[in-house]
Each structure stands twice: as C-alpha cells, then as structure tokens.
C-alpha cells in the first residue's frame, strides 16, 4: 500500500493529503487488513453499506476503523441519486454498476455510512474486489415504490465500458 501511495505522489505531487501520508506511515497490519475487509462495502466512491446487524469480527473491524478515523458511522446519512429524463440512474460499486429504472427525474435515497478523506484516498489505490454482496445490500435498501427495474452490469476495468454480456436483472427477481 505504501508503495502505491509513494508512486502516486511521485507521479503527481499532492495526490495524497499529508494526513493520509502520516496515517499510512504508522498503519499497522491489523488495521490494513480490517480496512481491506470493510471496503468491499463501498459504493459510489465514499458510501458504505453494512447489513442492519453487524456483529463479531465485522463489528470489531468497523469499530477499529472508526477509531482510526477511516470511516464515519456517527455521521451516517443518506446518499442521493437522481434519475435522468429516461428514468435511469447509475450507482457504482467497484467494477459493477447498478442500473435503476424509475420515474423520470426522480430521486432515490440510500442510507449510508461514509469513508473519511483519508479512507477515500487509501481506497482509491486498492484493487477492485467485489463479491456482489454490496450490490445486493444496495438493492435491498432501495425503496421499490416507483422502481420499474434494477439491473447490474460489469465494467471492463481496462476500458471502463459496460460489458453487455454481463447484464442481469436483480429486481424484480427473474
């Protein structure tokens, strides 16, 4: 992780804040591993979704990362997503995109926790890892009253283009 941050800083000075550089210089293995486990829950670059009940090792990870200043739970809130004139809105989850079709120009809200600035900067250098659980949790949280359909599609990590062969419907269930 330190190597990736240093390389980014060399390529473009100021890529990472001094707080992030200081944090990474003192980062221990336990915290780094906890962060890698928790960031699989990130969506839309800084939002975090967790199951309604967090317990055991997952709770220990969350508490450690909150204590270290990598995530905000006490400021939990809502992320807003606005549909376009066709009623489509996109929610990014690593190399996947959730495509929601709803009423044109409407807005949906998803309850969310957040990465801090340091958390976002560290997250930006981690390789994509997505097991589909985050997308499923986001779909569960979307109020379905005006939703027509929800699909997920993968993006090619090299070209960032959608891979239509991966498109699948999540809601209503096929």
Concatenated DSSP letters of 121-158: HHHTTSPP---SHHHHHHHHHS--TT--EEEEEEE-TT
Domain boundaries, the chain: 2-171
Query: How confident is the model over 46-61, as pLDDT tens digits?
Result: 999 987 778 899 999 9
Please state, in angstroms and rounded to a whole number, the distance separating the CA atoms of residues 66 and 87.
36
Give the pair of three-digit tokens for residue 12: 């473009």
Query: How confident is the model over 98-125, as pLDDT tens digits?
Result: 999 999 999 999 989 999 999 999 998 8
Phi, psi (deg, nearest 5) at residue 112? -150, 150
Phi, psi (deg, nearest 5) at residue 113? -100, 180
Rounded to an integer, the average pLDDT of 20-44 is 90
**C-beta of residue 89 within 8 angstroms of C-beta of residue 102:** yes
Q: Counting Cβ atoms within 10 Å, is residue 127 exposed (0-12), middle (13-18) or buried (19+)?
A: exposed
Q: For residue 4, count other CB atoms closer than 10 A to its CB.
A: 15
């Amino acid at each position: 992780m330190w190597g990736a941050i240093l390389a980014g800083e060399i390529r473009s000075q100021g890529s990472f804040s001094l707080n992030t550089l200081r944090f990474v210089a003192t980062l221990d293995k336990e915290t780094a591993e906890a962060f890698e486990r928790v960031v699989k829950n990130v969506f839309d670059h800084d939002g975090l979704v967790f199951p309604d009940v967090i317990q055991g090792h997952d709770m220990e990870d969350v508490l450690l990362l909150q204590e270290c200043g990598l995530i905000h739970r006490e400021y939990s809130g809502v992320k807003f997503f606005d549909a376009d004139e066709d009623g489509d809105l996109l929610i990014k989850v690593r190399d996947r995109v959730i495509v929601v079709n709803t009423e044109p120009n409407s807005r949906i809200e998803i309850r969310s926790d957040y990465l801090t600035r340091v958390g976002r900067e560290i997250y930006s250098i981690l390789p994509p890892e997505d097991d589909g659980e985050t997308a499923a949790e986001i779909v569960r949280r979307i109020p379905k009253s005006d939703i027509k359909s929800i699909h997920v599609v993968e993006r090619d990590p090299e070209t960032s283009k959608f891979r239509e062969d991966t498109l699948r419907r999540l809601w209503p269930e096929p």
